[in-house]
Amino acid sequence: MDEQILFDGLHLNEHQKLLWIKNALIQKNPNLKVLKPKLAGMYSPLIELLGIEINNNLESGKLFLPNLQVWDNKSVAIFSDYSGESSGKYYTYSFLVCAMDALGYFRQKMSILRKDLAFGNKELAFKDLGMGSMQKILPEYLSLLDQYVPGLLLTVVIDKKLTSVIGHSRRDTLNEIAKILEDAGFGKLKLLIAEKMVRIVSISALLVGLLGKSGQKIFWMTDHDAICENNKHNNMLAFFQRAIGIYSNANFPLIGGARPFEEKSTDYLDLLSAADLVAGSLAHYFTLRDTKGNEDIMVKDGVEKILYWLGGQGLSLQKLNIIITPGQNGIIHSGTIDITQKLDPNL
């Protein structure tokens, strides 16, 4: 939304403008009861733990839920990406939920940035962090996300030692999950893919229940992945539509989704990239931490900038990072990843 239109008739200094925007972007009476009491004990351990961590951060004032109805927004978009599949000790799942109709200023600024740095329509990808062009564009890109994307960036880090976080962490749980999905008409899936699909769909549906309101359209773009290859994507979307009802009684007139389009659209890639960069960075950091220890971590170029960025909240964008690990006697632990901003790596 154009700043001149936004503040038309309002005589505000810059500090007052920032406060006005911040106030508009935050939910005043957030719904903290997305997990329905009547279904207590029926949610997966993953969802129960996420509910606890989200509530703890809201109550402590470390997190505010974004208002995705801001400026009459009618569409909620989710952009998700995942890391840790081929290597490392952790799986990471990152989800950017945002007000789709309020992204005009972000897109305008990104278009100018891409042109100024001769970045073209290339994707900002974790695998390319070492490239000089990525090092140049990354700091300003992260700053634009903070300023102009109303939403929440949630990343969940899960220790690979946990066989399942949907049920008991045992091998037979994976068999049960795959059979339930097949019997429900969502396709015959390999065991680990079935577990992964339930993890990702459950988190996406929880976020819709937490942030979506009646009358809004829901759009979900997920990166190319084994859970959504070929006809699996339609099955995943059907599962997603059904799962939303577990977390929300709202009426959403349209629920749909897509994978990245063959013809590159930076309007979508620039949002999907946020999930890709964060998922890759956190998987990279925690694997190194477990291997080398806290004192000897030398992260990949660019990761330090992303980790520093994750340590603070933006004007428009809220961030929350949660880690789930195994405990004793089959108990699963969760915690918030607190990142202290000691020194700005961009200086």
Report the side by side order of strands in the sheet with 151-159.
255-258, 217-222, 75-83, 90-99, 151-159, 317-326, 332-336
Share the mean pLDDT of the chain: 90
CA atoms within 13 A on the CB side of 141: 29
* Residue 256 covered by a domain: yes
Query: In angstroms, how far is CA 162 from the centroid of its own chain?
Result: 21
Give residue-wise pLDDT tens across range 146-171. 999 999 999 999 999 999 999 988 88
Distance CA 214, CA 130 (A): 43
Proportion of the chain above pLDDT 90, given as a percent: 71
The answer to whether the CB of 323 falls within 8 A of the CB of 286 is yes
Domain around 102: 65-336
Query: Looking at the domain assignment, is residue 224 inside a domain?
Result: yes
Place of tokens 């909620």: 76
Residue 54 within any structural domain of the chain = no
In a domain, 2, yes or no: no
Task: Assess contact for 16 and 298: CB atoms under 8 A.
Answer: no
Confidence of residue 4 (pLDDT cuts 50, 70, 90): very low
Beta bridge partners of 220: 78, 257
The secondary structure of 218-272 as a DSSP string is EEEEE-S-GGGSTTHHHHHHHHHHHHHHHH-----S-EEEEPPPSS--HHHHHHH
Say how many domains are in the chain: 1
145 touches 317 (CB < 8 A): yes
Report the distance separating Cα 310 and Cα 320, nearest Å: 8
The alpha carbon of 219 is separated from its chain's Cα centroid by a whole number of angstroms, namely: 14
What is the rounded radius of gyration, in angstroms, for the C-alpha atoms of the chain? Answer: 20
**For position 234, which CATH number holds?**
3.30.420.10
| Predicted pLDDT at 291 | 83
Position 275 in a domain: yes
How many C-beta neighbours within 10 Å does residue 331 have?
9
**pLDDT tens per residue across span 295-340:** 767 889 999 999 999 999 999 999 999 999 998 888 899 999 998 8
**What are 246-268's pLDDT values in tens digits?**
999 999 999 999 888 766 789 99
CA distance 260 to 243: 23
pLDDT digits (tens, 9 = 90+) for 294-307: 776 788 999 999 99
What pLDDT was estimated at residue 2? 47
More confident residue, 203 or 6: 203
Residue 5 has pLDDT above 60, yes or no: no
Neighbours of 107 (CB within 10 A): 16
Residue 92 lies in a domain: yes
**SS3 (DSSP) at 142:** helix
Whether residue 153 is contained in a domain is answered as yes
Domain membership flag for residue 56: no
Section 51-56 average pLDDT: 93
